[in-house]
Structure formats: structure tokens, C-alpha cells
Chain A
Amino acid sequence: MSIIIKNLNKSFQNYKALDNINLEIPEGNLFALLGPSGSGKTTLLRIIAGLESPDSGEIQIAKNESDSKNSQPTQVGFVFQHYALFRHMNIFENIAFGLRVRPKSFRPTKQAISDKVFELLKLVQLEQLHNRYPHELSGGQRQRVALARALAIEPKFLLLDEPFGALDAKVRKELRQWLRKLHDEINITSVFVTHDQEEALEVSDQVAILKSGRIEQIGTPDEVYNQPKSSFVFNFLGDVNLFHGRIQDGEAVVGNLNLGKAEDLNSNAQEAVAYVRPYDIEILRDSNAGIPAEIKHIHSTGRNVRVELYRPDTGTFIDSVLDTPSYKELNLLPGETVYLRIKKAKVYTEDFSI
């Protein structure tokens, strides 16, 4: 079941939460809505769920042939950021709730409900905890109960609001890999909201990046990471260094380095900003090579070495990351002056201020 969103707008008083959103979420996809806080991603998810109504625009939920014979309303599975488990019910009752509140004619038998709940408990690996209460569970366990509860009604699609936001770093990593595996197992169209770019890129099939209620870019993790359409996307998806330069003959020039065409070139632009990832900055000892900079600090994180550099000509700081062998070969020392070469850059004429 795919979800198609057309020209969606939503305002809260004077604040425009969503500005003309167009989006297609293909069937069976694990789709990430990624953006900083206030970008409208949660509002979008709540509108898809039907918890809020849009000011204008529409959401089409394309049904398969096989679904149309089911006269039940479209089922949405929703997992809340803080789980929203029913605090006065034990885990079994929490998961069974969606089946028990069905109108009599649709309600499964007691035995069928019990079988279903235990099947789901097995799926989320919590069989032993069926008679515990939510407050007796850890955050990760609660999250899995919330997921099982949402899946109990056999939803046509699953929506997750910051599913790992309230968990500590280690559990978060485990759980998101587990979610990816689970998604591949049950293969249900899923949309999740996150502000964590690593999470979005690692787990999802496709990512939509939102900024101030607009979609900046939609694509696979590889596309958005390697071909970011705007400086915002580039900056949001990882660490970045900025180099200010000019446009000459349609190409950006920083110092005496030519960095190629701008991504969003318009003919009038005079100024350009080059965005460079730390591992695309090469450190050389050859003075002809490029931009002079002074080494301020060197941090070794084991596999990689992060070098913090100072550019005396502009007074800015630059981060470079290199692997340990090349670091050893260069034999860098703090206080030294070295020369920087930019291996790969994305140039934008619009200035994105950090």
C-alpha cells in the first residue's frame, strides 16, 4: 500500500508548519522523514495518521485489490515517541487492546486474540514479560511493546514518531538494526520521523529531508548523501567545512584552487561557498599545493585521525580526517604549517550560515 501526498499545507496560527508538501511513499518502503526540530516532520506524520487535519491538500492511500474486500477502516499502526503504553494495563492487555475494542462482528475470539498477542510477543522477543506493567520495562522493551501493539491490528502501514529518540546510544543502534530486519520480515510500508541523519541513512530505503516545512530533497540514502541538492542537505547530513570563494567563468575559485561548477548555479552569482567533508581535505607539505593552514590540534580516535587546522588568511578553522597510515607517513606535529588540497567539494552560490 503506497501513500501519495499532494500539495499539503498546514499552519498553526501564524506559523507555517508544512508548506506545499508533495511526497510519494512506495509500497513496502521503509521511508525516513529527516529534519531538524521545527521542520514539520512530526506534523506531517500526524497528518498521515489522521491525528491532525491539513489546511489543504490531500493524502491518497492506494489500496491493493486484495484490500478492497476488507470493509474495516484503513488501519494505521502508530508508534509514539514516548510509547504511550496504557499504564494501567499489563503488556498482554496493551497489545490485545486494538483487537478487544473492535465491534463484536469483527472481534476475534478470546483464544485467537491470545494467540495473536503471543505471536507478536515472540516477534518482538518479549514473551516472558506478558504480565508485566509498562513502568516495569526498560525504554527499549517499551518501544518494542508499542510496536507490537501497533502491529496487532494488522495495519496497512506503520508510522513511527522518533522511534529511537528516547533511548540511549547503544540500545538505539541495536534497535534500529532490529527494526530494519523486522521490516524486511513483515514487509509493511513504514514511515519514521527522525532528526538523526545517521539513523535515517542507515535504516531507510528512501529519505525525505525537511527544512522549515518544505521538502529539500527526496532520494535514497546514497543519493541524498552523495548528490545533495542544497547546501542545507549537505550540511545536515554530516560534518562539513566551508570555503568562501568567487565565481569565475561559471566555476568556483577558492584561493588558487578551482573547485568546479556550482550545484545551483545562477548566472548572476559572484560569490560561492564550497562545502567539503573533512575526509575530502588532503594535507600536503608541498607549498604549491593549496591553502596554507596551521595545525592546532591532533586527535586520534584509533582508526582515524582528526586534525584541526587554522587558516591564517581568513581566520577560520578547518577539520580534516585522515586514516592512521597516511597520518603516520606525514608525521604531522601541532604548530606546523601545512597545505590543504580539496579532493571533492560541493559548491553552492546560496550561502547557508551555520
Chain B
Amino acid sequence: MKPKESLLIKWSLVISVYLFCFLLLVLPLINVFMEAFADGLLAYWNAISQDHTLSAFLLTLKVALIAVPLNTIIGILAAFLLSRFIFPGKNILLTLIESPFAVSPVIAGLIFVLIFGREGWMRPVLNFLDWEIIFNTPGLVIATIFITFPFVTKELLPLMQSQGNEEEEAAILLNASFFKVFTKIIIPNIKWGLLYGIVLCNARAMGEFGAVSVISGHIRGKTNTLPLEVEILYNEYNSVGAFATASLLVLLSILTLIIKSILERKINTSTLEPSPNLTQDAK
């Protein structure tokens, strides 16, 4: 390739990627805030200080705070199991873990309705225990866990497979306990992939619509999460309310990204290597 040619390719790529990013990512985001503030600051404040909006905000946080840590722990264990051991049914397990990606979220929600709903086969047990899962917070948590289950494992598995287990064997031969091997060798080696998996998992947990929509019953102030609240407001032609609520979701995402970069910096100063870019390139 001639130098001139490669320069041309480089700049046309730069321009087209920037253009796409602006049109598809930046413009809609700006639009969210423009619509939210269309009637002024006061209208925006009124919209987000509604009781329904506030309770949806808290419910979204609550669901994410339960689902994300749980999926992180199980995700690490599953990736460790799949990358380090040979056992019968390994491929089936892998497919199972990935299946939430393949199933439409609406179907996923429906499955839980069929299990826990009025006609569901778990009904007698739930009646006996006097538990309500469907149209209640536990249902939302279960559906969110289901939908976001694969993120951490999917992120870690290729990383752990490519790293191999020699460092762990070396640590074991230096008489390190399993706990020490886990905390001093395994976790530091996968930290960037793990952080990225958690961010993806969290973004999906907060933004999930389909499965949650089926299972929530849309009881405002009780089982409505932020995405569901946005939909209801929008269908009521309350444009300012819908976009103001949507802006809360955007702020939550931005907050997640800020926490991620703070963590990155913190880990980076405690250990100089590897840089976050390096590990993310390796994926």
C-alpha cells in the first residue's frame, strides 16, 4: 500500500466512524436532554420528583444491586469451572449459560410467569409460603438475573482460557492455599475483564425492558422500573416526563462509567501493569 493511499484510508475511516458515533450515539443523547428540558428546569424537576419516578428509580437500583453482585460471583465461579476442569456435560453447561442471550427477553419473562404465575406449577408452593413473585420485586430480580447471567462468564472465559493455569500451578507448588491462589493470582489476572463484564452486566440490569415488562404488571409506584416508567409516560403523551425519566437512566449509566474509570485508575496505581487497553485489546 502506498503511504498516500493508507493516509486516505485512515482519514476516511476516522471521519466515517466519528460521523456514525455522532449520529447514532451523541445525537440521541443530546435529544434526550433537550426534550427533558423542553419546558424548562422547573418542569424537569417536577417530572423527576414525582413519587412514581422516584420509586421506579429506587427499584431499578435495588434490582441491579441484587442481580449484579450475584451474577458476578456465579459468573467468576462458572468461568473458573469451565476454563480449569474437564467434566461430563461441559459443552451443555456452556450452552446453557449462554442461552439467555439466545432467548428473546419477552419469552424469558413469559417463562417465569408460566412457572410462578396464577396457573404456574410452582403456585401451590408459593401459596403455601404466602410468597408473591410475579408482579412483585422478587420476580423482577429473578428476570434480571436470568437476562444478565452470561455477561461476566462470557467476558472471563476466553481470557482465562488464553491465560492458562500455569501461574496457578506455580502458586500451588509454592504451597499457596486455594484462597491465596484465588485472591493473589486468579483475580488480579482477570481484573480488567471482570470489571468490563460487571459494567456490561450492570448496564443491562438497569436497562432491561422486555423480560421485566412481562413480569412486572406495571404497577406504578410498586413494580415499575425506570425503563417501564419511561414507556408509560411516553404512552401518556407526557414527553417531558418520559425524557426526564430517561435522563435519569442516562445519568445512572454515566455514573457506572465514572465508577469504572475510578476503579481502573485505583487498580492501575496499585499495580502498574497490565494497562486496561492491553487486556481489552486481547479479548
Binding site for B on A (CB under 8 A): 49-51, 72-73, 75-78, 80, 82, 84-89, 97-98, 101-102, 133, 135, 149-150, 152-153
Contact = CB atoms under 8 A, between A and B. Distances in A.
Contacts of A75: 175
A135 B185 CA distance: 16
B175 A87 contact: no
Contacts of A72: 175
Contacts of B189: 87-88
Contacts of A133: 272-273
Contacts of B169: 51, 78, 80, 84
A152 B177 CA distance: 17
Contact of A101 (B171, B188, B273): B171
B174 A80 contact: no
B271 interface: yes
A281 B274 CA distance: 58
Given A88-B274, A101-B184, A133-B273, A153 B175 contact: yes
A78 B273 contact: no
22 contacts: A51-B172, A77-B173, A78-B169, A80-B166, A84-B169, A84-B170, A86-B185, A87-B273, A87-B274, A88-B271, A88-B273, A97-B174, A97-B176, A97-B184, A101-B176, A102-B175, A133-B272, A133-B273, A135-B273, A149-B174, A150-B174, A152-B174
A51 B167 contact: no
Nearest to B176: A101
A76 B274 contact: no
Contacts of B175: 72-73, 75, 98, 101-102, 153
Interface residues on B, range: 20 to 34
A149 B176 CA distance: 13
Contacts of A150: 173-174
B180 interface: yes
A98 B174 contact: yes
A interface, over-half SS:
loop
Nearest to B169: A51
Contacts of A50: 173
A101 B180 CA distance: 7
A97 B171 contact: yes
Given A80-B169, A101-B177, 7 more contacts: A84-B167, A88-B188, A88-B274, A97-B171, A101-B175, A102-B175, A133-B273
A153 B167 contact: no
Given A87-B273, A88-B189, A153 B170 contact: no
Give the 4 A-B CB pairs with smallest separation, nearest first: A98-B174, A84-B166, A101-B176, A84-B170
Interface string B163-198: 000110111111111001000110011000000000
A22 B169 CA distance: 26
A152 B171 CA distance: 13
Interface string B80-116: 0000000000000000000000000000000000000
Contacts, number: 63
A2 to B, nearest CB: 20
Contacts of A98: 174-176
B173 A78 contact: yes
A106 to B, nearest CB: 9
A152 B173 CA distance: 12
Interface string B224-253: 000000000000000000000000000000
A97 B166 CA distance: 15
Contacts of A85: 167, 170
B169 to A, nearest CB: 6
Contacts of B171: 86, 97, 101
Contacts of A77: 173
A86 B167 contact: yes
A88 B173 CA distance: 18
A85 B163 CA distance: 12
A82 B174 contact: no
A86 B170 contact: yes
A44 B184 CA distance: 29
Nearest to B189: A88
Contacts of B274: 87-88, 135
B273 A82 contact: no
A87 B175 CA distance: 19
A133 B275 CA distance: 13
Interface string B129-169: 00000000000000000000000000000000000001101
A215 B98 CA distance: 47
Nearest to A80: B166
Contacts of B174: 97-98, 101, 149-150, 152-153
A86 B177 CA distance: 16
A133 B272 CA distance: 9
A148 to B, nearest CB: 12
A101 B173 CA distance: 11
A141 to B, nearest CB: 16
A80 B271 contact: no
Nearest to B185: A86
A87 B167 contact: yes
B189 to A, nearest CB: 6
A82 B173 CA distance: 15
A87 B189 CA distance: 8
Contacts of A152: 174
A181 B167 CA distance: 28
A77 B174 CA distance: 8
A50 B169 CA distance: 10
A49 B170 CA distance: 11
Given A73-B175, A102-B175, A80 B170 contact: yes
